[in-house]
Amino acid sequence: MHQPLRGSAADRADDRERLVATAARQARVAAMVQLRHLKRYAIARSLFGPTSLKRAIRRLGFVQADPIRAPARAQDLTLRPRVAGYRAGDLERSYGRLGIEEDFFVNYGFMPADLRALLHPRSGLRKMSRSRLRQAQRILELVAERGTVHPRDVEAELGSGTETNWWGGASNVTTRLLEYLHFAGRLRVAGREAGIRLYAPGSALPTRDPGDLSTLDALIDVAVGKYAPLPSASLAPLIGRLRYGAPQWRAELRAAVARAKQRLVSANVAGTEWFWPRDEVMPPTSGDMDESVRLLAPFDPIVWDRRRFELFWGWQYRFEAYTPKSKRKLGYYALPLLWRDEIIGWGNLSVVAGRLDASFGYVAGKAPGARAFKRGLEEELAAFENFLGLRRTA
């Protein structure tokens, strides 16, 4: 973000000169950018070297969650190549010691506590009937009394029945009220038990000036920082997703897109305008390429933006877990397969009789013949064995 101009005329002149020089330097870099630079930049900035779990979450900004386990949940698959010695379930086991929270941002997931604070206080939430308000108050009283509760304990104590959910199915009313109170900031997720959220009283909500747009801009910077570099056609939709996590800013999102474009570095590459954070330096493309092979989660930041995926790698990756089996082309939970700076195919991994079973598909119709690829794939499958605590079938 731009630094404010200082008080004296001399200071302001120095600041203007510094800003002009910075803009000129960034313009020179942007003018030389090609798609291969953007691709390698996207991989290098996101797939950083293994670090601690807490630092990885901080660096990513937030980690998208998904309940499907194939062969592990999306949050574990995302953290696996970025956290030293990571094992499936480490996030759940370590949650209470990491200073993180669960909440909805542009997706639902895990984030540092200070990011969740920026999302609150939320307004514009749907109104509840008087009977629902009474039920919600009883839940708050029970949670305050017990400290941490499992949804089944709330149901056993208070009872509530079922109601139709957004997808036309039946959901437990207690569960939906717990989710509502969590979204409203009245409760927080204290941890998980076998994947089920445990709830505790929410912390004090911040007070904010509704006219101060710096909070919204800070949220946008986190989102862009996670998924950059972004093509122009993806920037506005990404920012627009904040209407879910920060509904209080819904009316300000269009203007926020224009501010973001002014704040970010941009370059026109092959007719597409791209944006990335102003304080980042794009790495050179010269030098040896990383020969590691990586199987990425369907929601990994490298592949999350499907528009960018097609611009970078020239083929369509689709998440097909909810696609009828007869219509799937890649598989139920296909993991994009990254080698060097190309995503060359996908893998489907499953656990069979306590062993890891893996099958692959390739955009070119067959696997690369290079020894480096074969070695890298073997190492990646061995890493998955350690991650899952399994042995692999031939």
**Tens digit of each residue's pLDDT (9 = 90 or more) over 37-71:** 999 999 999 999 899 999 999 999 999 999 999 99
Q: Where is the domain boundary, 152, 181, 201? A: 201
Residue 162, in any domain of the structure: yes
Q: Is the pLDDT of residue 20 over 70?
A: no
Residue 380, in any domain of the structure: yes
Q: What is the mean pLDDT of residues 82-94?
A: 97
Split into its structural domains, the chain has a count of 2
- The whole-number pLDDT of residue 23 equals 54
Q: What is the mean pLDDT of residues 293-300?
A: 98
Alpha-carbon separation of residue 170 from 139, 163, 164, 331 (angstroms) = 20, 5, 5, 28
Q: Is the pLDDT of residue 340 over 90?
A: yes
Q: Is the pLDDT of residue 210 over 60?
A: yes
- Asked whether the beta carbons of 84 and 128 are under 8 A apart, the reply is no
- Residue 18 tokens read as 């510094």
Q: Is the pLDDT of residue 5 over 50?
A: no
The residue range of the domain holding 194 is 130-201
- Asked whether the beta carbons of 100 and 57 are under 8 A apart, the reply is yes
Q: Is the pLDDT of residue 1 over 50?
A: no
Which phi and psi angles does 381 have, rounded to 5°?
Answer: -70, -35
- The whole-number pLDDT of residue 32 equals 60
Residue 361, in any domain of the structure: yes
- The whole-number pLDDT of residue 390 equals 87
What digits encode the pLDDT tens for the residues 27-44?
A: 555 556 799 999 999 999
Residue type, 370: A
What is the CATH classification number for the domain harbouring 155? 1.10.10
Q: Is the pLDDT of residue 25 over 80?
A: no
Q: How many residues does the chain have?
A: 394
Residue 259, in any domain of the structure: no
Q: What is the mean pLDDT of residues 359-376?
A: 97
- The whole-number pLDDT of residue 2 equals 41
pTM above 0.85, yes or no: yes
Q: Where is the domain boundary, 201, 221, 252? A: 201
Q: Please, what is the average pLDDT of the chain?
A: 90
- The whole-number pLDDT of residue 206 equals 85
Which phi and psi angles does 173 have, rounded to 5°?
Answer: -60, -40
Residue 192, in any domain of the structure: yes
- Residue 15 tokens read as 């600041």
Residue 218, in any domain of the structure: no
Q: Where is the domain boundary, 201, 235, 261? A: 201
Residue 254, in any domain of the structure: no
- Asked whether the beta carbons of 335 and 347 are under 8 A apart, the reply is yes
Residue 323, in any domain of the structure: yes
What digits encode the pLDDT tens for the residues 110-132?
A: 999 999 999 999 998 888 889 99
DSSP symbols for 175-221: HHHHHHHHHTTSEEEEEEETTEEEEEEPPPPP---TT-THHHHHHHH
| 95-104, 172-181, 373-382: least confidently modelled range | 172-181
